[in-house]
Amino acid sequence: MNTLHYNGYSARIEFDEEDEIFVGRIAGINDAVGFHASDVEALKAAFQEAVDDYLETCSRVGKDPQKPYSGKVMFRVKPETHKRVALAAALAGKSLNQWAEEVLDEASRSAG
């Protein structure tokens, strides 16, 4: 799996063996915005065009375009995990949000 990034949006790219084309879809939004091309340069252009068209269409119809991510993450963890991370944050002299953002940022960079 590969990704492209443009203007705050990201897309997941896959290769369609049957049609011999690259196919992408903007990730992180509910609206279905896809694109395709037969080579990498054309794929990049098609992605940028898809994002620009999405933003233009939203503006034309008076709809706020979805932003891929708000910056708010809410999830549940076991109470023991919550206790350990709160303690780790306190020992680092940081709020739980600051500590978690740093840990998640580091983990996401090493994963991709």
Summarised one tens digit per residue, pLDDT across range 13-33 is 999 999 999 999 999 888 999
- Host domain of residue 12: 2-61
Residues 19 and 51 in one domain: yes
Residues 56 and 24 in one domain: yes
Residues 12 and 51 in one domain: yes
- For residue 101, give both structure tokens: 């953002």
Domains held by the chain: number: 2
pTM (2 decimals)? 0.66
Q: How many residues comprise the chain?
A: 112
Residues 6 and 41 in one domain: yes
- Lookup result for tokens 């915005």: 33
| Exposure string for 57-84, b = 16+ CB within 10 A, e = fewer | eeeeeeeebbeeeeeeeeeeeeeeeeee
Summarised one tens digit per residue, pLDDT across range 65-90 is 998 777 788 889 999 999 999 999 99
Would you say residue 11 lies in a domain?
Answer: yes
